[in-house]
Amino acid sequence: MSPTPTPSPSPSPRSGSGSGGSRSSSRPSGSTSPSSSAPGSGSDAQDDASSVPSSVPSSGDASSPATPTEVSAPPAPPPVNPEPAPFSEPPGKPKDGQPAPDPITASAVQTALGAEYAAVWCYGLVEAFLPETLDKHAREDLTAHRVRRDATIRVLTDSGVRPAPAEPAYRIPAPVTDQTSAMRLVVTAESDTAAAWRSVLERCDDQGLRRMALDGLTDAAVRGARWSEQLGAKPIVPVFPGRA
Protein backbone atom coordinates (compact mmCIF):
# COMPACT_ATOMS: atom_id res chain seq x y z
CA MET A 1 0.00 0.00 0.00
CA SER A 2 1.38 3.43 -0.89
CA PRO A 3 1.98 5.81 2.06
CA THR A 4 -0.26 8.84 2.39
CA PRO A 5 1.47 12.25 2.56
CA THR A 6 1.10 14.25 5.78
CA PRO A 7 -1.28 17.15 5.16
CA SER A 8 0.09 20.62 5.67
CA PRO A 9 -1.84 22.84 8.16
CA SER A 10 -1.55 25.95 6.05
CA PRO A 11 -0.82 25.25 2.38
CA SER A 12 0.88 28.05 0.55
CA PRO A 13 0.30 28.98 -3.10
CA ARG A 14 2.39 27.04 -5.56
CA SER A 15 5.56 28.59 -6.88
CA GLY A 16 7.11 27.94 -10.25
CA SER A 17 10.44 27.11 -8.58
CA GLY A 18 9.31 24.84 -5.72
CA SER A 19 8.88 21.09 -5.71
CA GLY A 20 5.11 21.53 -5.73
CA GLY A 21 5.17 23.81 -8.81
CA SER A 22 2.68 23.33 -11.59
CA ARG A 23 3.67 20.92 -14.26
CA SER A 24 4.11 22.23 -17.79
CA SER A 25 4.28 20.40 -21.07
CA SER A 26 5.70 21.44 -24.45
CA ARG A 27 3.27 19.05 -26.19
CA PRO A 28 0.71 20.93 -28.34
CA SER A 29 -2.83 20.82 -27.05
CA GLY A 30 -4.06 19.09 -30.22
CA SER A 31 -1.54 16.26 -30.08
CA THR A 32 -2.82 12.74 -29.46
CA SER A 33 0.53 11.16 -28.75
CA PRO A 34 0.78 9.66 -25.25
CA SER A 35 2.78 11.59 -22.71
CA SER A 36 5.86 9.91 -21.17
CA SER A 37 6.66 12.53 -18.50
CA ALA A 38 7.09 11.41 -14.87
CA PRO A 39 4.32 12.16 -12.34
CA GLY A 40 4.59 15.48 -10.47
CA SER A 41 4.86 16.12 -6.74
CA GLY A 42 2.68 18.00 -4.29
CA SER A 43 -1.08 17.51 -4.23
CA ASP A 44 -0.94 15.51 -7.48
CA ALA A 45 1.29 12.90 -5.87
CA GLN A 46 -1.68 11.12 -4.36
CA ASP A 47 -3.14 10.33 -7.75
CA ASP A 48 0.27 9.37 -9.14
CA ALA A 49 1.17 7.24 -6.14
CA SER A 50 -2.08 5.32 -6.37
CA SER A 51 -1.08 4.15 -9.83
CA VAL A 52 2.30 2.78 -8.69
CA PRO A 53 2.43 -1.04 -8.83
CA SER A 54 2.63 -2.78 -5.46
CA SER A 55 5.99 -4.25 -6.40
CA VAL A 56 7.61 -0.80 -6.29
CA PRO A 57 9.26 -0.32 -2.87
CA SER A 58 8.35 2.80 -0.89
CA SER A 59 10.40 4.91 1.46
CA GLY A 60 10.09 4.47 5.23
CA ASP A 61 9.53 8.21 5.70
CA ALA A 62 5.76 8.73 5.97
CA SER A 63 6.09 12.45 5.27
CA SER A 64 7.45 11.89 1.78
CA PRO A 65 5.50 9.53 -0.47
CA ALA A 66 7.51 7.25 -2.68
CA THR A 67 7.00 7.87 -6.36
CA PRO A 68 8.50 5.88 -9.18
CA THR A 69 11.38 7.48 -10.97
CA GLU A 70 9.87 6.59 -14.32
CA VAL A 71 6.51 5.30 -15.43
CA SER A 72 6.45 3.98 -18.94
CA ALA A 73 3.41 5.04 -20.94
CA PRO A 74 1.69 2.36 -23.01
CA PRO A 75 3.17 2.24 -26.52
CA ALA A 76 1.20 3.96 -29.26
CA PRO A 77 -0.38 1.60 -31.79
CA PRO A 78 1.58 1.38 -35.05
CA PRO A 79 0.17 3.49 -37.90
CA VAL A 80 -1.96 1.64 -40.35
CA ASN A 81 -0.72 2.07 -43.91
CA PRO A 82 -3.60 2.75 -46.29
CA GLU A 83 -3.99 0.63 -49.37
CA PRO A 84 -2.43 2.29 -52.42
CA ALA A 85 -4.84 3.79 -54.90
CA PRO A 86 -5.19 1.81 -58.13
CA PHE A 87 -2.59 2.71 -60.73
CA SER A 88 -1.00 5.28 -58.44
CA GLU A 89 2.16 3.32 -57.80
CA PRO A 90 4.74 1.92 -60.24
CA PRO A 91 4.89 -1.88 -60.55
CA GLY A 92 8.19 -1.97 -58.66
CA LYS A 93 11.67 -3.21 -59.43
CA PRO A 94 12.57 -5.11 -62.58
CA LYS A 95 12.28 -8.86 -62.48
CA ASP A 96 15.24 -10.85 -61.24
CA GLY A 97 18.02 -10.95 -63.79
CA GLN A 98 16.71 -7.97 -65.77
CA PRO A 99 18.73 -4.75 -65.91
CA ALA A 100 17.17 -1.43 -65.03
CA PRO A 101 15.36 0.08 -68.02
CA ASP A 102 17.11 2.76 -70.02
CA PRO A 103 15.02 5.97 -69.87
CA ILE A 104 15.34 6.62 -73.62
CA THR A 105 14.33 3.07 -74.50
CA ALA A 106 11.46 3.11 -72.01
CA SER A 107 10.16 6.37 -73.49
CA ALA A 108 10.24 4.90 -77.00
CA VAL A 109 8.34 1.80 -75.84
CA GLN A 110 5.76 4.02 -74.13
CA THR A 111 5.30 5.86 -77.44
CA ALA A 112 4.82 2.55 -79.25
CA LEU A 113 2.24 1.54 -76.65
CA GLY A 114 0.42 4.81 -77.29
CA ALA A 115 0.40 4.05 -81.03
CA GLU A 116 -1.09 0.62 -80.34
CA TYR A 117 -3.78 2.20 -78.14
CA ALA A 118 -4.62 4.64 -80.94
CA ALA A 119 -4.73 1.89 -83.58
CA VAL A 120 -7.16 -0.17 -81.48
CA TRP A 121 -9.37 2.91 -81.09
CA CYS A 122 -9.25 3.71 -84.83
CA TYR A 123 -10.22 0.19 -85.89
CA GLY A 124 -13.13 0.29 -83.49
CA LEU A 125 -14.24 3.58 -85.05
CA VAL A 126 -14.14 2.51 -88.72
CA GLU A 127 -15.97 -0.80 -88.32
CA ALA A 128 -19.35 0.76 -89.03
CA PHE A 129 -18.14 2.30 -92.31
CA LEU A 130 -16.57 -0.80 -93.92
CA PRO A 131 -18.37 -3.33 -96.11
CA GLU A 132 -18.64 -6.93 -95.04
CA THR A 133 -15.79 -7.97 -97.34
CA LEU A 134 -13.37 -5.64 -95.52
CA ASP A 135 -14.87 -5.95 -92.08
CA LYS A 136 -13.24 -9.36 -91.61
CA HIS A 137 -9.77 -7.94 -92.31
CA ALA A 138 -10.48 -5.04 -89.96
CA ARG A 139 -11.37 -7.41 -87.13
CA GLU A 140 -8.21 -9.45 -87.72
CA ASP A 141 -6.06 -6.31 -87.67
CA LEU A 142 -7.82 -5.09 -84.54
CA THR A 143 -7.04 -8.39 -82.79
CA ALA A 144 -3.39 -8.15 -83.85
CA HIS A 145 -3.08 -4.66 -82.36
CA ARG A 146 -4.70 -5.79 -79.12
CA VAL A 147 -2.24 -8.67 -78.81
CA ARG A 148 0.76 -6.39 -79.39
CA ARG A 149 -0.67 -3.80 -77.01
CA ASP A 150 -0.91 -6.38 -74.23
CA ALA A 151 2.60 -7.68 -74.97
CA THR A 152 3.98 -4.12 -74.77
CA ILE A 153 2.30 -3.59 -71.42
CA ARG A 154 3.94 -6.77 -70.10
CA VAL A 155 7.36 -5.66 -71.33
CA LEU A 156 7.08 -2.34 -69.52
CA THR A 157 5.71 -3.90 -66.35
CA ASP A 158 8.42 -6.58 -66.23
CA SER A 159 11.02 -3.82 -66.55
CA GLY A 160 9.63 -1.97 -63.55
CA VAL A 161 8.00 0.79 -65.63
CA ARG A 162 4.36 1.73 -65.16
CA PRO A 163 2.62 1.60 -68.57
CA ALA A 164 0.85 4.77 -69.60
CA PRO A 165 -2.93 4.37 -69.78
CA ALA A 166 -4.93 4.73 -72.97
CA GLU A 167 -6.65 7.99 -73.80
CA PRO A 168 -10.44 8.12 -73.88
CA ALA A 169 -10.30 9.25 -77.53
CA TYR A 170 -7.76 10.28 -80.15
CA ARG A 171 -7.60 13.15 -82.61
CA ILE A 172 -7.86 12.04 -86.24
CA PRO A 173 -6.65 13.96 -89.29
CA ALA A 174 -10.08 14.00 -90.95
CA PRO A 175 -13.62 13.00 -90.03
CA VAL A 176 -14.69 9.44 -90.85
CA THR A 177 -17.89 9.60 -92.89
CA ASP A 178 -17.64 6.80 -95.44
CA GLN A 179 -15.62 3.79 -96.59
CA THR A 180 -12.84 5.84 -98.19
CA SER A 181 -12.25 8.04 -95.15
CA ALA A 182 -12.35 4.94 -92.94
CA MET A 183 -9.62 3.19 -94.95
CA ARG A 184 -7.51 6.36 -94.97
CA LEU A 185 -7.69 6.46 -91.20
CA VAL A 186 -6.45 2.89 -90.75
CA VAL A 187 -3.62 3.52 -93.23
CA THR A 188 -2.59 6.49 -91.07
CA ALA A 189 -2.87 4.38 -87.91
CA GLU A 190 -0.64 1.67 -89.38
CA SER A 191 1.89 4.27 -90.55
CA ASP A 192 2.06 5.80 -87.07
CA THR A 193 2.45 2.36 -85.48
CA ALA A 194 5.27 1.43 -87.86
CA ALA A 195 7.07 4.70 -87.09
CA ALA A 196 6.75 4.12 -83.34
CA TRP A 197 8.23 0.61 -83.50
CA ARG A 198 11.01 1.80 -85.79
CA SER A 199 11.88 4.34 -83.10
CA VAL A 200 12.12 1.55 -80.53
CA LEU A 201 14.35 -0.45 -82.87
CA GLU A 202 16.73 2.50 -83.14
CA ARG A 203 16.89 3.09 -79.39
CA CYS A 204 17.54 -0.28 -77.79
CA ASP A 205 20.24 -2.93 -77.64
CA ASP A 206 18.26 -5.76 -76.05
CA GLN A 207 17.86 -8.56 -78.58
CA GLY A 208 14.41 -9.60 -77.40
CA LEU A 209 13.06 -6.06 -77.54
CA ARG A 210 14.67 -5.45 -80.92
CA ARG A 211 12.94 -8.55 -82.30
CA MET A 212 9.63 -7.34 -80.90
CA ALA A 213 10.14 -3.89 -82.43
CA LEU A 214 11.08 -5.37 -85.81
CA ASP A 215 7.97 -7.54 -85.79
CA GLY A 216 5.84 -4.55 -84.89
CA LEU A 217 7.34 -2.50 -87.72
CA THR A 218 6.96 -5.29 -90.27
CA ASP A 219 3.39 -6.20 -89.34
CA ALA A 220 2.26 -2.57 -89.42
CA ALA A 221 3.89 -2.04 -92.82
CA VAL A 222 2.16 -5.14 -94.26
CA ARG A 223 -1.24 -4.13 -92.91
CA GLY A 224 -0.79 -0.58 -94.15
CA ALA A 225 0.15 -1.83 -97.62
CA ARG A 226 -2.95 -4.02 -97.79
CA TRP A 227 -5.22 -1.11 -96.87
CA SER A 228 -3.39 1.20 -99.28
CA GLU A 229 -4.01 -1.29 -102.06
CA GLN A 230 -7.74 -1.38 -101.27
CA LEU A 231 -7.74 2.40 -101.23
CA GLY A 232 -5.84 2.65 -104.54
CA ALA A 233 -3.12 4.83 -103.03
CA LYS A 234 0.36 5.09 -104.55
CA PRO A 235 2.87 3.91 -103.59
CA ILE A 236 1.38 0.91 -101.89
CA VAL A 237 4.52 0.37 -99.78
CA PRO A 238 6.60 3.38 -98.77
CA VAL A 239 10.28 3.36 -99.66
CA PHE A 240 11.28 3.36 -96.00
CA PRO A 241 8.46 1.84 -93.90
CA GLY A 242 8.12 3.53 -90.56
CA ARG A 243 9.91 6.69 -91.62
CA ALA A 244 7.78 9.78 -92.09
Is residue 162 situated within a structural domain? Answer: yes
Is residue 34 situated within a structural domain? Answer: no
Is residue 151 situated within a structural domain? Answer: yes
Is residue 118 situated within a structural domain? Answer: yes
Is residue 4 situated within a structural domain? Answer: no
Is residue 38 situated within a structural domain? Answer: no
CA–CA distance, 198 with 109 (Å, rounded to integer) = 10
pLDDT for 209-238, tens place per residue?
A: 999 999 999 999 999 999 999 999 888 887
Is the confidence at residue 49, as pLDDT, over 70?
no
Domain of 125 in residue numbering reads as 103-231
Is the confidence at residue 10, as pLDDT, over 70?
no
Is the confidence at residue 35, as pLDDT, over 80?
no
DSSP track, 89-154: S---SPPTTPPPPPHHHHHHHHHHHHHHHHHHHHHHHHGGGS-HHHHHHHHHHHHHHHHHHHHHHH
- Residue 130's CATH number: 1.20.1260.10
Counting the structural domains of the chain, the total is: 1
Is residue 155 situated within a structural domain? Answer: yes
Is residue 71 situated within a structural domain? Answer: no
CA–CA distance, 227 with 206 (Å, rounded to integer) = 32
- What is the chain's Cα-based Rg? 38
